[in-house]
A and B are shown apart, each in its own frame.
Chain A
């Protein structure tokens, strides 16, 4: 398992999934079986399979997906903070989304609902606090779902059997310098 070669594909997949999961409206695609997270991890798996000279196993895919999901969660949280402030005047920030979810909770006592609502809407500091708290949630969820995506990506894109000969290595041959010197002219030959 080449752990150094794993970082670059994980970073590409993680950054992509993190950005897409942070953008308003586009992030809603995650509601379909965490499509961006699974897609990002599958992209990382594809890139890793393409660059690997030996067959990539499911275990490597799981590890790669875990790394991709974790990077994605961090990138998502970092992008959500400026987006939250940029969209605050349009009332589509994180606090408003939380309020929408709270409104959907059935049979929540009115006083508790009001208390939670005022807590979420009580200023910028609280908004950032809940974005970071949400980031920790996402770290767990994206890592687990990323593991699924990584395993899925390896199972789809890896066409070689484990333990098979590497295909991208050139055939072994000897250069003239490697060959033994020719026998001297007076070398006794067999009769």
Chain B
């Protein structure tokens, strides 16, 4: 959806669909053109940082599951802090005049943050789906038993 909007905007046949895609992301991203990547001469639907976050979510979900998330709560918190700190510093430091962020830093810090979120989300979703599968198998087993007796 992020990349589809500028492609659709390049083809003037779909103005309403293009508008809907930009509107979809407008409550959750400022969409400032100066802070967004361009594709085919049009801005993406989200800014540099959000593009990094969404791409990080996608790429993070491709990493093999076992190596994705530390098991211990402390290691998990260190992983979260390590992935969030660069993003927070990239946002906060320009306010103090210590650092000037650019498209590369905004995108990279978003990418790391997104990859971290993917590791948490997929571990949680996997746990939920395992639980549902287990319940379904138990239900099926009880149905078979009920049918036999």
Contacts and interface: CB of A to CB of B under 8 A. Distances in A.
Nearest to B84: A152
A21 B26 CA distance: 13
A116 B16 contact: yes
B28 A145 contact: yes
B9 A105 contact: yes
B50 interface: yes
Interface stretch (B93-101, B125-133, B141-149): B125-133
Interface of B: 9-10, 12, 15-16, 18-19, 22-24, 26-31, 33, 41-43, 49-50, 53, 72-73, 76-77, 80, 87, 91, 113, 117, 120-121, 123-128, 131
Interface stretch (A26-34, A85-93, A176-184): A26-34
A58 interface: yes
Q: Which 7 A-B pairs have the closest CB atoms?
A: A59-B127, A62-B124, A58-B124, A151-B120, A112-B15, A31-B30, A59-B128
21 contacts: A21-B27, A28-B30, A33-B50, A33-B53, A33-B87, A59-B124, A59-B125, A59-B126, A59-B128, A101-B26, A101-B31, A104-B33, A106-B33, A107-B9, A107-B10, A109-B12, A112-B12, A113-B15, A116-B16, A138-B27, A151-B124
Contacts, number: 114
Contacts of B19: 101-102, 105, 108, 116
Contacts of B124: 57-62, 147, 150-151, 154
Interface stretch (A4-12, A121-129, A158-166): A158-166
Nearest to A27: B27
A152 B80 contact: yes
**B19, B76, B126: which has the most chain A beta carbons within 10 Å?**
B19
Given A33-B113, A105-B19, A108-B9, A152 B120 contact: yes
How extensive is the interface on chain A, given as a class?
Answer: 35 or more
B2 to A, nearest CB: 13
Interface of A: 1, 21, 27-28, 30-34, 37, 57-63, 97-98, 101-102, 104-109, 112-113, 116, 134, 137-138, 141, 145, 147-148, 150-152, 154-156, 158-161
A101 B121 contact: no
A30 B120 contact: no
B11 to A, nearest CB: 10
Contacts of A97: 26
Contacts of A102: 19
A155 B28 contact: no
